[in-house]
Chains A and B, each alone.
Chain A
Amino acid sequence: MQPKFTLQKPALTPFNVVAGIIVAVGLVITVIRFTKGLGATTNLSDYNPWGIWIGFDLLVGVALAAGGYVTSAACYIFGLKRYHSAVRPAILTGFLGYALVVLALNYDVGRPWRLPYPFVVQQGTTSLLFEVAACVALYLTVLFIEFTPAAMEWLGLKRARSIVVKLTLVLTIFGVILSTLHQSSLGALFLIAPSKLHPLWYSPYLALYFFVSSIIAGLSMVIFESSLSHRYFHDRMDATHVREADGVTLGFGKAAAWVLAGYFVIKLVGLAQTDAWRYLGTGYGLWFLVEMLGFVLLPCILYGIGARERNLKLIRRTAAWTVLGIVVNRFNVGLIAFNYHLPSSERYFPHWMEIGISLFVVTLGVLAYRFIVTHMPILYQHPDYDAH
């Protein structure tokens, strides 16, 4: 019987207060959104139909939730058992991430109750968005099922758990397939608008770029939230977790260095393929170089140094920086390099209510993560069950 931790922590910690405010404000904005419409709560316009609810909540959210498929693939498909302790947290992050993506989508879309329409009423199969929707919906289901063993252990549902656990490999493979498809399709969404996306970011390889950078995002996010978990939930971790943690950080850091290097090379190939070199001397070009050198090449080198010298602190910091780089990249494609041809009076900047909802969604995710991690066997192995 696991001894119950009774931490006499006060309810009104600074974190809880801030989170509470964000949630409260978010609920208010929600009411406004569904009574007054998008015009009252966003700065969206006919020139800018997609704002940060798509640019951040959807594009960044899906990319950063990629740790789920990356970690489970590493552990179950590639057989790297030393990462096993990282699987459950990664799956949890992935599941919460995708669930919140769907939540945020309900805010952005004009008629959210019609979200099932593409599946049950009319299929627009020429659309990459259909592909994204189908794969995200299926993958959310996969993640949910992959998450349930932890919940079932918490609830004591032994039989159900043993059934689900048998599906692990199939679910993992299915998850990688679905992730490949929807991560790349999110980038491919912009293929249809070459006249609106700056030539330095528009490339026929957009789908590939989004897929490869999702791997980088997943690896970095696992390192990042592992470092956070160790700081705030150390008392929840069992010996295996603590022991394997450094190995996860080092291993994933090394992998990230390689993938970042490959990503840098294929980005250069893309530039050559579209002959976009001459744009490097412009303002957008400078920003593109900041993204490429500062958020791709630099973390690649730092990850490499960290992995070789076994410098865990460096790897963790680089992971945080890389997560920021993923945000920068998705923002660039979705908001900054998009509509580059319009005058500045027509460009978009988010309304505070949009930022409020994005914060709200992220806070819900953090709160849910905290609840699940402190109650269910995520960071420790339940003594009554075997590892799977």
Chain B
Amino acid sequence: MSISRRSFLGWLGAAGAGGSMAAGPARAAGNGQFAGYPESLGVLFDVTRCIGCRKCEEACNKVNELPAPAKPFGDLAVMQTRRRTDAKSYTVVNRYENVPGAKGPLYRKLQCNHCLEPACASACFVRAFTKNPNGAVTYDESVCVGCRYCMIACPFEIPTYEYDRALEPRIMKCTFCQPRLAKGLLPGCVEICPVEALTFGRRRDLIRLAHERFAQFPGRYIDAIYGEKEMGGTAWMTISGVPFRELGLREDLGVTPAPELTKGALSVVPIVAGMWPVLLTGIYAISQRRDKIAREEQAAAVADAVGKSQAEAKAKLADALAKAEKDKKAAIDKEVKKALDAAKAAAAAAAAGTPADAPPSKVS
């Protein structure tokens, strides 16, 4: 059955209009901002409360069955050196002395901040990291290849690697005690802290709590929550009475979440895949065409040159033949004249007498 062009276009238009009307409910335009899962949990660390007892380190070590450390957790002198997380410690507490504005030493617990948009999860090329709806950023060792790009990506320098294991090295970092959370228990460090320097709850409740503390104790805190906006927001946040940089927290990280930083580069990939074939084939076609035209022009020039030289040769030959013809005629004329002159001379001699040696007449 044949269909006229007009009807075909009509059907096409109707289908398009119908399709667009049948579209589902409009979703929010993608402006790329993720405010976190609404029920995301978090932990608020209050520097003004921490007494530097290291019980959190001990509890973390116990609940995660990590190997025993070189120095026991009761040894507070280890805090004299600045430590970072390592393959055997998901969390450490550092001491900061002589901070201007503080009345004594200050302590800060550092661990994975469970970012809302984690750099490690964005960087992992086997999706070994998951940002769970409860806020925890967890690591799946069953797919990890060990490329350690997550360690490059993390702005807080948290993930660590088991460099001393040859066959099954893993990334080691705080898990937010995901197995305990699943059982309704508190994270190990939170449960053991004797002064509740770590407050556990929903992230948005913790932000409100922090502001309440700022209002209730004016002069005790800097009016800012570290991790509220840094790198797009983290689930574990810190409040303190001194500027955060005095506690080793970088204040120059910005508020752009890590995935946003690579979005641009990634988005170019399909464009290159789409445009390069066109571009390169085009260049190839143009160069082929140019070659072909060059070849044709060359052939034409050759033929032209050949033809020209041929014509030249022909003309030359004709000239030569004509000249030869002329020469021959002149020669004949000359001989004829000579014979006629000789005959005339002989006749004149005969009339005058009879010379004995009369040349033989050359009469043909």
Return the CB mask of B272-314 against A: 1 if under 8 Å, else 0: 1100110011011001101100000000000000000000000
Q: Restricting to A190-225, which residues have a CB under 8 Å from any CB of B?
A: 190-196, 204, 207
| Inter-subunit contact A173/B144 (CB<8 Å) | no
User: A-side binding surface: helix, strand, loop or mixed?
Assistant: helix
Known: A127-B124, A188-B262, A192-B258. A37 touches B163 (CB 8 A): yes
Any chain A CB within 8 A of the CB of B168?
Answer: yes
Any chain B CB within 8 A of the CB of A77?
Answer: yes
| Inter-subunit contact A195/B277 (CB<8 Å) | no
**CA A317 – CA B151 in complex, angstroms?**
39
Give chain B residues whose Cβ lies under 8 Å from the Cβ of A112: 145
**CA A191 – CA B163 in complex, angstroms?**
25
Give chain A residues whose Cβ lies under 8 Å from the Cβ of B125: 118, 123-124, 127, 129-130, 133
| Inter-subunit contact A173/B169 (CB<8 Å) | no
Nearest chain A residue, comparing its CB with the CB of B165: A37
| Inter-subunit contact A195/B287 (CB<8 Å) | no
- Min Cβ gap A162→B in Å is 21
Return the CB mask of B139-168 against A: 1 if under 8 Å, else 0: 000011111110111010101111111111
Contact of A110 among B157, B161, B265, B281 (CB under 8 A): B161
- Min Cβ gap B274→A in Å is 10
**CA A133 – CA B144 in complex, angstroms?**
15
Contact of B269 among A76, A78, A181, A189 (CB under 8 A): A181
Any chain B CB within 8 A of the CB of A329?
Answer: no
Give chain B residues whose Cβ lies under 8 Å from the Cβ of A39: 163-164
Nearest chain A residue, comparing its CB with the CB of B142: A121
Any chain B CB within 8 A of the CB of A228?
Answer: no
- Min Cβ gap A134→B in Å is 9
A42-B163, A124-B127 are known contacts; what are 15 more A-B pairs with Cβ within 8 Å? A49-B148, A76-B284, A77-B283, A109-B146, A109-B147, A111-B145, A122-B126, A173-B276, A176-B280, A180-B276, A185-B269, A190-B152, A192-B119, A192-B123, A193-B152
Give chain B residues whose Cβ lies under 8 Å from the Cβ of A128: 123, 262, 265-266
| Inter-subunit contact A109/B262 (CB<8 Å) | no
Residue from A39, A45, A192, A207 having most chain B Cβ neighbours under 10 A: A192
**CA A47 – CA B149 in complex, angstroms?**
12
Give chain B residues whose Cβ lies under 8 Å from the Cβ of A169: 284
| Interface size band for B | 35 or more
Give chain B residues whose Cβ lies under 8 Å from the Cβ of A192: 119, 122-123, 152-153, 258, 261-262
Q: Which residues of B contact A (CB under 8 A)?
A: 84-87, 119, 121-128, 143-149, 151-153, 155, 157, 159-169, 250, 252-254, 258-259, 261-262, 264-266, 268-269, 272-273, 276-277, 280-281, 283-284, 287-288, 290-291
| Inter-subunit contact A110/B169 (CB<8 Å) | yes
List 18 A–B pairs whose Cβ atoms lie within 8 Å, in order of A's numbering: A37-B169, A38-B163, A46-B159, A110-B146, A110-B148, A110-B169, A114-B126, A117-B143, A121-B126, A124-B124, A127-B124, A127-B125, A129-B125, A173-B276, A177-B273, A192-B122, A195-B250, A195-B253
| Inter-subunit contact A50/B152 (CB<8 Å) | yes
| Inter-subunit contact A46/B85 (CB<8 Å) | yes
Count A interface residues, CB 8 Å: 59
**CA A50 – CA B152 in complex, angstroms?**
8
Return the CB mask of A30-49 against B: 1 if under 8 Å, else 0: 00011111111010111101
**CA A58 – CA B84 in complex, angstroms?**
28
Any chain B CB within 8 A of the CB of A115?
Answer: yes
Any chain B CB within 8 A of the CB of A131?
Answer: yes
Residue from B121, B148, B277 having most chain A Cβ neighbours under 10 A: B148
**CA A77 – CA B87 in complex, angstroms?**
51
Known: A39-B164, A169-B284, A192-B123. A126 touches B143 (CB 8 A): no
| Inter-subunit contact B272/A207 (CB<8 Å) | no
**CA A108 – CA B151 in complex, angstroms?**
14
Any chain B CB within 8 A of the CB of A184?
Answer: yes
Nearest chain A residue, comparing its CB with the CB of B270: A181
Contact of A173 among B119, B164, B281 (CB under 8 A): B281
Give chain B residues whose Cβ lies under 8 Å from the Cβ of A156: none
Nearest chain B residue, comparing its CB with the CB of A197: B152
Nearest chain A residue, comparing its CB with the CB of B145: A114
| Inter-subunit contact B144/A114 (CB<8 Å) | yes
**CA A33 – CA B167 in complex, angstroms?**
10
Residue from A36, A111, A190 having most chain B Cβ neighbours under 10 A: A111
Contact of A46 among B160, B281, B284 (CB under 8 A): B160
**CA A110 – CA B84 in complex, angstroms?**
22
| Inter-subunit contact A111/B169 (CB<8 Å) | yes
Any chain B CB within 8 A of the CB of A247?
Answer: no
Top 7 A-B pairs ranked by shortest CB distance? Answer: A110-B146, A79-B287, A39-B163, A37-B166, A188-B265, A49-B148, A130-B125
**CA A33 – CA B166 in complex, angstroms?**
7
Nearest chain A residue, comparing its CB with the CB of B151: A49
